[in-house]
Each structure stands twice: as C-alpha cells, then as structure tokens.
Structure 1
C-alpha cells in the first residue's frame, strides 16, 4: 500500500530547454520565499481547432534564466483561467481554486468549471486537495488575493453552454481554521471577470474587468468596466465574527491620468512605494476587433490618484480566438 501511495505521489522534475509551450490564461506567481516564479496550467487552441489544457507546473529562475517542469499523477486536473495565491508559511505554499476545461475537440461539453481547492507545498513539490463541505461554486475568470491569513476570491463566471453567468459573491477562506465563509453586500451589482485584484495593508483594490448585459429579446452585450472599488477588511479577534468587510467605491480619477477601460489586465503591489502597478489588458473596438494595451499604470494603493507611462505604441489589432471566429464570444478571463 505504501509503495502504491509513493508511486502515485512521485514528482517528476526535468530541465526545459527553451521556453514552456505557448499557452494563455495561465497563472504566474512569485515564490513567497524566493526569487523565482511558478507557472501553472493554461490553454492553447491550435490552428486545426483542437483545445489543449495543461496541468503541469513550471519553475522559472530569473537569475539562471532557467525553466524546470514538474509533473505528478496527483496534481490538479488540466485547467485555465484559475486563480493562485502564495503564502510564506511553512516553507511556502501556493493555493489554487477553480478554473475551466474543454475537451480536445470541444464536442462533449461546452465548458467544465472546477470548484476544487488545492494547496501546493513548495519544499516537497506536492499537491493536496482541501475538502470542505461549504465552498464557493464552480467558476473561472475569478481573482484571488491573500490578506493576512485569509484567502479572498471574488467574481468570475460560469458558462454551462447556453448562457454565461457572471458571479458577484465574495468568499473568505481562513487558513488557520480551514473554513470558507461567504459575505453578502446590499449593493452587489459588481460581477466581473478578468479584473485586477490587489491586496493592500487595509484591504483589497478591485479595478476594471468584463461582464455581459442581458436584455430580453436581444443579443447579450459585452461591457468593459473601468471603475475602482476598495474592499476594506477589519479584524477584531474579540468579536464573535472577528472579520468584517466593507466595500467602498473610489471616485473617478482625473481623465488625464485615468487608464482607459480594459479587461484581462493585471496588477501587482510595489510594496516599497505602497503602489499598485497595472499593465496591459484588452478592449473591444469597432467591427468586432480587439485592441491590446501596452500602457503601464501605477495607482497608490490607498488613494484614488493614478499615473501612467507609455511603454510603446498601441499593439496591432489581432484576430479573435478560434471560438470567437465561429461566432462565440468568450468571457474575458
């Protein structure tokens, strides 16, 4: 029995010559106790219409400019558009939730969405599935942030094949108690996917994203969002419910410095400056084409002011992905 368990949990490591295979909607997470990066999952749609989803892990060392690949039978299933956060506790952990999967020819189902929750132990390179009775629903395109010892996922979408449901629920996972808790807000209209979600000292900043508006008798319309919210988090261990959440909408910044509406952009915290740095994203243009942004934006984490820097001219417009060419608009992830 022990030999079977060890065989199933064996982790294969190999040096990658060159780069990992090309893929989209992958997560790239900074190691909490080192200077390298962890690349997990992703998807690739080939020219002949096949969909490839991955469950391998890659470790990138900038100092050596070296990629290493890790594979095991016990790793989470192949997926894309999932979310990952890092914790420095116990030598370093990565927490993964959700994501989506398609069959090779996309003929058995439209989308399969995950609702599983995993933790990756960095020292041993092993995954463990966290089982709880209460947990968030299946989704992809959501975002997660780590605040103290709490993991906070928000948003995303669920697409069973006939209508995309954009989600607006807020959850918190307590790493000390290993329990999920859902928080509800009266003004819960914000329901995006593909947005930026940035943890700060006092809470989490949310900016941008994408959703669909449905009107009876009309085709759904995709909407690129450009608002900024702050999820203020307070912790008081003396209370029966020690953690409280409050959502605050930030005032629109000066149009001179306000980044244009976009989805799929990312933000990271420049901790030395207390500033969030945002790059890239996508926005719909006329005639069904897309524009890609290469403008660098930085936002003071506890203020509303934004600043920008042009890194290059606007990228050339590119064709939509294969499913969009077939008349299927994919939710922004």
Structure 2
C-alpha cells in the first residue's frame, strides 16, 4: 500500500492544480494578470521582449541565410533519424538487446529522471535550449514581417516551457518557404548549439578536469543485478576486476572476455574517499556470457562515453 503513496500524492497535487486553475479562471482572477488557461496548462503572456527580437532580426539577409541553412540541417537530421529508427527496429528484437535493454529512465532526456543528466545542470541547459529555440522562431517571424503578438511561459505546476506567439492570420498567408524557415530555425538552433558545446566541453574544457579515479563508472543497475546484490553502489568507479586493474572500459572488456557466467570474482570500487571490494557471482546474459548488471560510463575526460549494459 505504502509504495503507491508517492503516486497518490502526485495525482492529488495535479487534481488540486486543475481545480484551482479552473476556479481562478471562473472568478476572473487570471486574465487581468496576463494569465491564460489552456486545459491543465497555464500560459503567462507579455509584450516584453518584442523590441529585443525586433533589434536582433535587423540583419535580415543573414537570418534568411540562416533560415535556408536550418532547412538543410533539419532535412538531413530527419533523414538520419529515420535511418537510425529503421536500423534500431532491425536489432531491437535480437536476444541480446531484449535481455540487456537500457532502463526507461535512460531513454528519457529529462533531468531528474535520466540518471546520466544531473538535475540542476539539466534544468539550466533545458531552459537555455527552450529560450534560444523560441527566440529563433521569433526572429525568423520578424524577418518574414510576421507580427509577434506575445511572448510567454507555460506552467504545469512549475514552468515547463516558453513560447513566441506569431499572428496566426499572417502565418496562414506566408509563402511556404518563409514558413518553413520559421519552423526550422528553432530545432536547427538547438542542434547547432548542442554540437558547439559538445565540442567545447569535450575537447577544450574537459581537458582540465581530472576524474575521481580511472576506471568504469557505475551509473545505475539492471533488475536482479549481480554487482548490486554484492554491495556495489551507484556513482562509484570500478577500479579492479578479478585482480586486474581497470583504467578504462577497454580494460574492463578484456577482463570480461576471460570470465564466464556463474564465476565468483572480486571487484573493487572507489567512491571518492575509500576502496571497497566485493565478491560478485556473475549472471548469464542472453547469449550465455557473463553479466555484471550495471550501466556505466568510461571515466576518460577526452570524450563522454555512455556504455551499454555489461
């Protein structure tokens, strides 16, 4: 019974939010404060920021070029994503993938849910991505001489998004190419910045960061994980397996290749202050090979390497 308490609290909180939003709207409390309900969501609209977008949109030739480049970027991305989905569809039913698939949390790029994304860093990055995405739409709207009615923030208990609201009637008569530029600018901006910051962090800034310890970092565990049952903890680093020092995932893979399912071996981890050694009895994966039962990352600082379930 108690395991459902957090879910019940979330449902009750959401119900109170919806009821309170409806009551505030009926009593006329929201509109004078530029708040507008949209189902369970609440939008705050303002005219502030329109002049800033107008100034940014002045080099129209540059922004038209950026819009055309955005079309190419999102078109190539669409083709690549489609090809990736087709490729994944061909391997998702293989025994190795079915038995060792990542947890649902790892598939969601949301801070606080995905264990690979720190909560506050993730929220900060997501906020920047949303703001730049919407400003890109706004800039291309003004380049196409579309009036911006408002800017705003979307709430669902907490702020969850932002928006730029163009004039819908003017959008309907906009030439197809101009409209496509406007729509493509937002996601293209996010992709360009993602590549830029990935390069900066991996090749420039990370070179000055030293890992806690060389090895393979444990992020999370699979159900019935042998290494977790032995006492290993998340966010620690595997430094030794079966008496062999582990300095990288390549070392881990080499040692794993010498082991078999049901072997009981010593594994040493480091948590930043002390070493701990556990005796782990390995399980068998779908192909009969040894299974440790964790999701990890290589601690090298050259690049960030998310690893599959070893």
Alignment TM-score > 0.5, same fold = no
Taking structure 2 as the reference length, the TM-score comes to 0.25
TM-score normalised by the chain length of structure 1:
0.24
Q: Name the structure with the higher strand share.
A: 1
Highest CA radius of gyration, 1 or 2?
A: 2
Greater length-normalized contact order (CA 8 Å, ≥ 6 residues apart): 2
